[in-house]
């Protein structure tokens, strides 16, 4: 049976670059690959899958939370690659799982595990539950030399856990961090807010 893979990492861990490299290798061997991305991710244009390193490809299929995947689209396909998988719905993830069983096509999903509030995305949670293989794409903390495991959001130079979990086009606000740096910066920001509140009163 073909496998469902979840390859996750923090922001700036080269997830998309990894995906594009896999796509290149398959196509170099004359194999057919389908590239999927969530339609809401229009940072570089709706159909563009682009890495921070500058490499890019056009997605073959854009999906919405309620998209029903037509199995005919995957005829003679050797591999399915999914970018920004955390923005998919559980409904779509379940269909990708079925594709591995019915059509025997491996599906590789790349994405974040959790948001900047340290909460699992819906799709990531489902992938953690049903994927055959879960692999971490490692990255170093932006503020020390430890491995990053969290996504930290800054607003006006300070860490925050406020705001929507999905915030596209604001990559400069997010940093890959280890848990210690994440906790320290969140705690420091909370203390600062308390001080400002005390001075205001």
In this prediction, residue 192 carries a pLDDT of 83
- Residue 170 tokens read as 């604001």
Higher pLDDT, 54 or 5: 5
Which of 56, 84, 98, 171 is flagged as catalytic?
84
What pTM, to 2 d.p., does this model score? 0.92
Higher pLDDT, 177 or 196: 177
In this prediction, residue 45 carries a pLDDT of 74
Task: Tell me, yes or no, if 171 is annotated catalytic.
Answer: no
Least trusted range by pLDDT, from 53-57, 91-95, 145-149: 53-57
In this prediction, residue 201 carries a pLDDT of 59
In this prediction, residue 57 carries a pLDDT of 93
- Which residues pair with residue 147 across a beta bridge? 140
Using alpha carbons only, how large is the chain's radius of gyration in Å?
A: 18
In this prediction, residue 43 carries a pLDDT of 76
What distance, in Å, lies between the first and last C-alpha atoms of the chain?
65
In this prediction, residue 50 carries a pLDDT of 87
CA distance 117 to 175: 13
* 4-200 has CATH 3.30.300.10 classification: no
Q: Determine the average pLDDT of the residues in 173-188.
A: 96
Torsion angles phi and psi, residue 98, rounded to 5: -65, -35
DSSP the chain: -PPEEEEE--TTS-HHHHHHHHHHHHHHTT--EEEEEETT--BTBTTEEE-TTS-EEE-SEEE-TTPPPPGGGGTT--EEEESSGGGS-HHHHHHHHHHHHHT---EEEEE-SB-TTS-B-HHHHHHHHH-SEEEE---B-SSSSSBP-EEEEEETTEEE--S-S--TT-GGGEEEE-HHHHHHHHHHHHHHHHHHHHHH-
CA distance 130 to 128: 6
Distance between alpha carbon 118 and the CA centroid of its chain, in Å? Answer: 14
In this prediction, residue 46 carries a pLDDT of 78
Mean pLDDT of the chain: 92
CA distance 91 to 83: 16
Domain boundaries, the chain: 4-200
Higher pLDDT, 200 or 88: 88
């Amino acid at each position: 049976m073909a496998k469902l893979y979840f390859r996750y990492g923090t922001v700036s861990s080269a997830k998309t670059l990894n995906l594009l490299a896999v796509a290149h290798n398959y196509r170099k061997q004359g194999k057919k690959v389908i590239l999927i991305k969530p339609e809401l991710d229009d940072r570089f244009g709706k159909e563009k899958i682009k890495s921070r390193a500058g490499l890019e490809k056009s997605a073959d299929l854009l999906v919405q939370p309620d998209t029903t995947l037509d199995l005919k689209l995957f005829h003679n396909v050797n591999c399915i690659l999914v970018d920004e998988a955390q923005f998919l719905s559980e409904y779509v993830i379940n269909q990708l799982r079925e594709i591995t069983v019915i059509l025997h096509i491996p599906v590789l999903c790349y994405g974040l595990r959790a948001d900047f509030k340290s909460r699992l995305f819906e799709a990531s949670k489902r992938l953690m539950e049903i994927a055959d293989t879960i692999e971490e794409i490692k990255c170093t903390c932006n503020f020390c030399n430890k491995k990053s495991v969290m996504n930290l959001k800054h607003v006006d130079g300070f860490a925050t856990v406020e705001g929507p979990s999905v915030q596209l086009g604001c990559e400069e606000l997010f940093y890959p961090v280890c848990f210690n740096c994440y906790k320290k910066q969140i705690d420091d920001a909370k203390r600062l807010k308390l001080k400002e509140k005390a001075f205001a009163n």
